[in-house]
Chains A and B, each alone.
Chain A
Amino acid sequence: SQTIHQWPATLVQPVGSPLSLECTVEGTSNPNLYWYRQAAGRGLQLLFYSVGIGQISSEVPQNLSASRPQDRQFILSSKKLLLSDSGFYLCAWSGGSGEKLFFGSGTQLSVL
């Protein structure tokens, strides 16, 4: 069966520090991969999605970036975090048909 792993579960970072969140999927090949963010009191905002290695589409201009170095690995990064980057970050995957998203357990990021 397919599983998605996302870590860390919680992270507290100072303003201006770098960020790296990692997500891996097991049990499937060539998944579509996504990064979403839920800011306090808001819905799920699509940040990035990828349909293949090295193929990244950005939905929201910001100081975050994403990379997909391997088929089942998706990384969210920042060179310098802002206070507004705080939120609950979710990685997700879908199959080729894209009919359903499966989410990881999320990372609560607090930028202080």
Chain B
Amino acid sequence: DQQVKQNSPSLSVQEGRISILNCDYTNSMFDYFLWYKKYPAEGPTFLISISSIKDKNEDGRFTVFLNKSAKHLSLHIVPSQPGDSAVYFCAASPSSGTYKYIFGTGTRLKVLA
């Protein structure tokens, strides 16, 4: 049972435009969410996080939105740059202190110059 889902395996966006990556989850106990970026043959690098007490968090070109009622979060990248081309993973964890992060299957973003 996939508790964290990224239903779009790939996304292509023109340079300078907005990239929107989506993530859905099924477990209502999840209340801390992370986004990671991964290049081939490398470990994922942390981008941005959000906890359930917020509905938005911004860091430079990256903004994460959380809709708890819909169990949905999204990552916005504005403006998109060719260097943003990578696989993006969302991850979720409950606040019970188990520190178990469940990752989605990833979305491959391609930013076209």
In the complex, per-residue mask of A90-112: 1 if CB is within 8 Å of any chain B CB, else 0: 10101000111111111010000
- Cα A107 to Cα B53 with chains together (Å): 36
Count of interface residues, chain A, beta-carbon cutoff 8 Å: 26
- Tell me if A46 counts as interface (CB < 8 A to partner B): yes
Which chain A residue has the least Cβ–Cβ distance from B104? A43
- Tell me if A35 counts as interface (CB < 8 A to partner B): no
User: Which chain B residues lie closer than 8 Å to A36 at the CB level?
Assistant: 103
Q: Are A98 and B99 in contact (CB under 8 A)?
A: yes
User: Which chain A residues lie closer than 8 Å to B93 at the CB level?
Assistant: 98
User: Which chain A residues lie closer than 8 Å to B99 at the CB level?
Assistant: 32, 49, 51, 94, 98
Q: Are A46 and B101 in contact (CB under 8 A)?
A: yes
Q: How distant is B37 from chain A, measured CB to nearest CB, in Å?
A: 11
Q: Are B91 and A101 in contact (CB under 8 A)?
A: yes
Docked complex: B93-113 residues within 8 A CB-CB of A: 93, 97, 99-106
